[in-house]
Amino acid sequence: MKLIFAFSHPSLDYTYRDFPSREVAEKHREEVAEDLDLPAHELVIEENEVSAEEFDEFIERAGLY
């Protein structure tokens, strides 16, 4: 299993945007806050487990390979 990271907020019933690491997610915090029209400091980064295959597909789609 591998981890991907996404933003959540108590007002959302979903996570928003997947990132390959917590560090990459942090770099996009302000952008995500603007997209969601929410305060950046209220966003929570969640870890989501995915299979190695799903992770590889995510990385390929994101153009990170």
Amino acid in the structure at residue 17? R
Quick check: 8 and 43 in contact, CB under 8 A?
yes
Nearest residue to 20 via CA among 32, 36, 60: 60
Segment among 21-25, 36-40, 47-51, 59-63 with least mean pLDDT = 59-63
Average pLDDT over residues 43-63: 90
pTM (2 d.p.): 0.82
Average pLDDT over residues 8-36: 96
Alpha helices, H only, the chain: 22-27, 29-36, 52-61
> CA-to-CA distance for 8 and 19, rounded, in angstroms?
13
